[in-house]
Amino acid sequence: MLTAMNKLINKKHYNYFLVLAVIVGLAVYPYAGATSYMLHLFILFFIWAVVAVYWNLLLGYYGIFSLGNVAFMAIGGYTSAILSITYDIPPMITILLGGIAACLLVTLFLGLPALRLSGIYIALLSLVFALTIPSVLTLTRDFSGGGVGLHSIPGFLPGLERFQNYYFCMVFFLFAMFIKHRIIHSKAGLAFVALRDSEDFASTLGVNRYYEKLKVFAISSFMTGIAGGFYVHSQGDITPSLLGIEPFLLGVAMIELGGVGTFLGPVIGSAAIVFGNEFLRLAGTLRLAILGGLICFVILFYPGGLMQFFSQLGDYYNKIINYFRK
């Protein structure tokens, strides 16, 4: 028993050390010869990783097949951009307001109707919700820019350079991951998983599925809306193309490629898609075909995504170490 406890403690210390090493590595990267292009890719990675992580909270932990999370991001982004441009409100305030707007709209028009729906019906409802956003943008073109979108959106603070935007987005990414970790290890996280596995059994244990469903929609839309705010103020513009088919498919691919229902899976998937998608632009029209083939290969041989692949690598490594120790 003592041996098992020592292994657990050592593993826990190893995890803490690994997390600390990753944070230090990200913090010093801009001073380690990083180019402006690479900083741009890392900013996109930080933002899309948050979107994928909280999309996975709906899909992987609760089992809600939502197809509208990119729309949550767009609502937060457009709200923050409009408020900062039209009313000259500081971006650090408008980003929070964008998250609140996304939370309220999603909970009201998607969360409440979804209380009486399940499975494919929630997926269709969320898809319809996302498809209405471009029409709303067209009707409000005086504020939203319509099909042209919004440009020259103020940065987080006046005069910031690219590497300073990098740190804003990095801190947001780490904060979002910390919040996700706290959620899934709380009573709410246990309730989400219980409802995903068996609603009837969870209900007999006193879990209120209506309250928990609204809660998970509110959390996911709020954090995704804030991610939209960070997106617009780091990139400087936003257009309805964000609601196109390609961002939607890439968002789904991030979750599926990394591993549905895992903590780090969407992060790994986001890194693979963001950096792979950019580096494969040289392939032209074959870019999406190559990415699609990679995703199909991983899902076919590793249904649990890249997390399953890395887990198997770890098992093989342990077997080899144990073999030589004998």
- DSSP letters spanning 170-228: HHHHHHHHHHHHHHHTSHHHHHHHHHHH-HHHHHHTT--HHHHHHHHHHHHHHHHHHHH
What is residue 22's three-state secondary structure? helix
Alpha-carbon separation of residue 45 from 51, 68, 107, 215, 281 (angstroms): 10, 20, 27, 26, 16
Q: What is the mean pLDDT of residues 72-85?
A: 96
In a domain, 135, yes or no: yes
Domain membership of residue 43 (yes or no) is: yes
Contacts 24+ apart (CB under 8 A), 205-211: 210/115
283-317 confidence digits (pLDDT tens): 777 777 887 888 888 888 888 888 888 888 877 77
DSSP bridge pairs for 238: 150
**pLDDT tens-place string over residues 214-252:** 999 999 999 999 999 999 999 999 999 999 888 898 898
Kindly indicate the confidence band of residue 319, based on its pLDDT and cuts at 50, 70 and 90: confident
Entry pTM: 0.91
pLDDT of res. 132: 92
Looking at the chain, which runs of residues are DSSP E strands? none
Percent above pLDDT 90 for the chain: 41
Q: Is residue 187 part of a domain?
A: yes
Instruction: Tell me, yes or no, whether 148 lies in a domain.
Output: yes
- Using DSSP, state whether 238 is helix, strand or coil: strand
How many C-beta neighbours within 10 Å does residue 102 have? 31
> Total structural domains in the chain?
1
Answer whether residue 288 is part of any domain: no
Q: Is residue 319 part of a domain?
A: no
Q: Is 60 exceeded by the pLDDT of residue 179?
A: yes
- Any domain includes 108: yes
Determine the structural domain holding residue 41 and report its residue range: 33-243
In this predicted structure, what is the pLDDT of residue 40?
92
CA–CA gap between residue 95 and residue 288 (Å, rounded): 32
Residue 90 forms part of a structural domain = yes
